Amino acid sequence: MRLVRYGHPGAELPAVIDEDDRSYDARPVTPDYDSAFFGREGIRVLREALDEDRLPEIDLDGQRLGSPIARPPAVVCIGMNYAAHAAESNALPPEKPVIFFKHPSCVVGPGDDIELPPGSLKTDWEVELAVVMSGTPRRLTDPSQAFDYIAGYALSNDVSERALQIEESGGQWSKGKCAATFNPLGPYLRPADEVDPGNLRLRSWVNGEPRQDSTTADLIFSVAEIVVDLSQYMQLLPGDVINTGTPQGVALSGRFPYLSAGDVVAMEIDGLGRQEQRVVD
């Protein structure tokens, strides 16, 4: 089962795609995939409605896809969560998760343009596994508890402006992370019980040339460990998005040029689909 939102920006409608690639209107269950939906076991209710044939079939051909999550309450990000990426960033692997935030307004559809900030010379791509929360974990003590609070997973591009992030930030990364369009998400959300988050291949390309190719088995802190850590000092909410970190192969490494207007960025995660964006001024 795949949850999607389609239509014009700001006016997307919820839909669901079954395992036979047939699409259905989800509005008999919910007006949108938002915090209220995830907080009231919406995925379970949606699956029951789909299984019981209570959703009208629709045609999504030619439709723009938006983010599969209506604007999340928060976008929490984990920095340097792959050892090889930490190394290419000239940093040691962290002993505890590094946390920063993106503004929820960064979140756009998987095929929407990436807009370069004025004067940007160091805009970078980052393929990441995104976790969407279904509840509020509080001071968890065991990683196995984390999965009780996860709604599902999606493909995320944590776009970054490195000059703003590193050279002008005073040590606070969010300045280089929060520009409009800096978090393409989707194309869809897959429920947590359909995904093994510890064994997913992540890849990215720029203009058809390979950039990143890794697996979530190389995460320094697993999805469960991240949720346990965050639960100690943060009140996560249903619908919150957690970007879990990016593997090596970004422009910050010095091995590839940063993004320019006209470039095309593509990304895939096994089981979570593909997204592609054009870079524009």
- Provide the domain limits for residue 254: 75-280
Do the domain assignments include residue 151?
Answer: yes
Listing DSSP states for 228-239 in one string gives: HHHTTT----TT
Do the domain assignments include residue 145?
Answer: yes
Handedness of CA 32, 33, 39, 43 (dihedral sign): positive
Do the domain assignments include residue 65?
Answer: no
Q: Residues 110, 155: contact at Cβ < 8 Å?
A: yes
Same domain, 142 and 243: yes
Same domain, 169 and 196: yes
Same domain, 51 and 80: no
Reading the chain (281 residues) residue by residue, the pLDDT tens digits are 999 999 999 999 999 999 999 999 999 999 999 999 999 999 999 999 999 999 999 999 999 999 999 999 999 999 999 988 877 877 788 999 999 999 999 999 999 999 999 999 999 999 999 999 999 999 999 999 999 999 999 999 999 999 999 888 777 888 999 999 999 999 999 999 999 999 999 999 999 999 999 999 999 999 999 999 999 999 999 999 999 999 999 999 999 999 999 999 999 999 999 999 999 99
Q: Residues 16, 2: contact at Cβ < 8 Å?
A: yes
**Phi and psi angles of residue 3, each rounded to the nearest 5 degrees, phi first:** -95, 125
What is the C-alpha to C-alpha distance for residues 248 and 229, in angstroms, rounded to an integer? 23
What is the C-alpha to C-alpha distance for residues 120 and 250, in angstroms, rounded to an integer? 16
Hey, what are 242's tokens? 């957690």
How many structural domains compose the chain? Answer: 2
Same domain, 114 and 10: no
Task: Tell me which residue of 60, 48, 30 sits closest to 188, measured CA to CA.
Answer: 60
What is the C-alpha to C-alpha distance for residues 243 and 104, in angstroms, rounded to an integer? 12
Do the domain assignments include residue 26?
Answer: yes
The CATH number of the domain holding residue 260 is: 3.90.850.10
Same domain, 142 and 44: no
What is the C-alpha to C-alpha distance for residues 111 and 195, in angstroms, rounded to an integer? 23
What pLDDT was estimated at residue 190?
98
What pLDDT was estimated at residue 168?
84
Same domain, 24 and 79: no
Scored b (16 or more CB within 10 A) or e, 24-61 reads bebeebbebbbbebbbeebbeebbebbeeeebeebebe
Scored b (16 or more CB within 10 A) or e, 133-145 reads bbbebeebeebee
Same domain, 95 and 49: no
Same domain, 273 and 158: yes
